[in-house]
Structure 1
Amino acid sequence: MKSIIENGKFNTRMEASDWRYSASIVGIIKYFDYLVERGYDTESNFYKIEDDIIEYNSEEIIEERYFSFAEKYFESAMHHRIIEQILNSEEFTEEQIKLVNEKLKANVIMKKVFGDIKFIAENKETILEKINTNRLILIKETYRGGKSLYSNFSNTNSLGIEPSGICRLQNYNIDIPKKSKSISYNWNFKTYKSDDEKEFDFIPFAFSKSYESFFINNNYDIKQLVKTNNLIADSEKPRATLFSELKGSAEFIDFDVEVIIKNRGNDYFETLYIRKDAIKIFEAINNYKGIQFKYKVNDNYYIDFEKEVTDNILNNIKLDGLIELLLKSKSNYSYNIKTLIEINTLIYGGDKMDKQMKSAYGSAKRVMAEIPENKVNSYKQKLISAITFKDYGRFCEILLQLSSYSGVIFDFAYDLFSDFDENKNIAYTFINALNNESKKDNGGKKDE
């Protein structure tokens, strides 16, 4: 929520009331901190933070400064900046010359500014001069239309305009004549609430710079809000950064918190909630790398296991389907399956099955030592078929046959006989152990 302050040092107050305002605040703070770094003024003269409220002077949000900040923050996406960095050299490789010429035609505004100019070493100064002369328009239009930049988050026609009756963000921005009734409660448009603020133009700076962009809305305290999102800002794998590398996540997320996701392939924002129970599971995962791989379903579709598993944890959904998918695979995913079973056990409710899972693993290895490999594989496929078709009675029958044939006693089997559903991870462990285990994970490997 935004309000005007009368007769104070600052003239604007913004509260982290919902995620849009929280993200705007994070972006605004990064903007003001950039101005401090550039020597415009001291931090104390730009803004003041108190718990979940920021106060600042709106007059300090100036177009040229805003786009200068955008150029610096998203420098790797600014075609003219890449050209400048290359042209700072005295000599150029063929690859650099090729890249410069590609960048000169990279988007509509680059083509408009540079026309038919083609880079050769001799016209270096001409290109640099054109960049300096047209810098503001190059930044503005590249930022406006960049698929990873403003257009990923907002209606491109809204950049820099004053607030309107409809929010500028993707999926919040609607065609009023066509959709005003359909998006309103009881078909009454007066019930539709979609606040818009000019400060929402700072939202792109709050999300992580990744294809699947994250914003963590732990907005109880603005300082903590900024600190949390800075941790994932430049990460190429924000899920891994948040859920794996930050084992001490409870230090900065010690309550249920909202996570906003913007995927470049979607024209809408998604919302996930990290709850305390989910945080405990993430902290207990010993081998996060075991879920960082893609599984090929067909030539046009891959399953991103990291995304699927983390979403399941966040929503308290068991991993049975994912485990069974890998068990049926022709490739050896035993390492990854082991990780999934460990996580699934936590989702089921902790380590109450740990003793029996160890027994199942040991029994499987004894079976492999007692009977021929082709027989092991035959029984394994029968067990996989039974469990994937949820024919648990058949599974138990096959288990008894295998015990009789191999001469190995299965102590763990009693739990499956009494309650198969609640002890399914024991069954998964046994099947997975009927394998010549891979000592390496399949991270990055795509199953054929």
Structure 2
Amino acid sequence: MDSLITAAARALAGGDPLGALKRVALREDPPALALRGIAMAQLGDLDRAKILLRRAARAFGPKEAVARARCVVAEAEVALAARDLGAPDNLLDQARAVLEDHGDRANAAHAHYLTVRRLLLIGRLDDAEKQLEHLDPTPLPPALRTAHELVVAGIAMRRIDTRTARTALARAQQAARQARIPALIAEAENAARLLDAPAARLIAQGSERPLLLDEVEKLFASKALIIDACRHAVRDRKTIVSLATRPVLFALARALAEAWPKDVARDVLLARAFGAKHADESHRARLRVEIGRLRQKLGKLARLSATERGFALEPPMGQEVVVLARPVEEKHASVLAFLADGESWSSSALALALGSSQRSVQRALEELALAKKIQFYGHGRARRWMTPPLPGFTTTLLLPAPLPND
């Protein structure tokens, strides 16, 4: 490997993509194409990065299997950053196997982390944890140890396990400082700040206040009966009843919980559950049916009693009723929550992450764009959606640069 390639690789390893481009910008040989692709990815030009990495992979000869595998891994990370979540996993798995067979444990581990990060992004926490069990970060370089701890923290935050998350984030920040990569340090610090930002709102007896993730964890461990509007469920510390597929029942449960300990008039329940402005006897009959179904769903968690003007929620003696809601609620809050990471998403990737149909997601995106809450670029299948960019935002990648002694 010549001196310019070596210098460019070291610049990328140190988080200096511009320095790398100065050395290889005009070269067309396979190693230079690969390094240019990684540099463009770190600068945020993901489309150009993908083209360069594919050219490099094709240009490497049959005896350069490790170099080709590294290009595949780098392209997989570009796809992850571009939120191209529908790409097949078999190419990445094959590349990882090649790297392991040739003793390149660092890049093989990096490929493994890409798989785990994708699983985390689409909400498959159990699968992500199983994959993580096979990875020991101890012998890895600092950048990959940072990646490991960020994944551990991400899973813990989704599980509402703040102690594990804080410990992992502290290790991630320490490893990022050892790596001396500014973008990586910023990523670890931004992740740590999430634990000190409002994660939800608590609504109880006519008042509301923001909750940190630590406070949400304490709430779940308390004796309270919680109507969880984040996951559309009713729960106490022992039992969770999901109403995610029963929106009418959840709307009734939330309306009753927000009024607790008072009752709720039938007209109000009809408006909340069915959007009925002028209720007739058929609406009232349907309300009785849905209340009966909600009684059956809740079981021993709470009773629903009829009152003179409506219905009331009655938890077991001494139990408080609260509503846990998202920090900001609107019609397409879940779509906005994914776009809030600052990355550009395709509608197909959002549909995969949300577990929804692509057409439903496209309608939501179009409504949000009309309201000027999001923006897009590209056309057809190349269209990507994102929130308006924040000043100073930098796309961070953990692409390992191949050095001569790898």
Shared fold, TM over 0.5: no
Between structure 1 and structure 2, the one with the greater Rg is 1
Give the structure, 1 or 2, with the largest relative contact order (CA under 8 Å, sep 6 or more): 2
TM-score by length of 1: 0.25
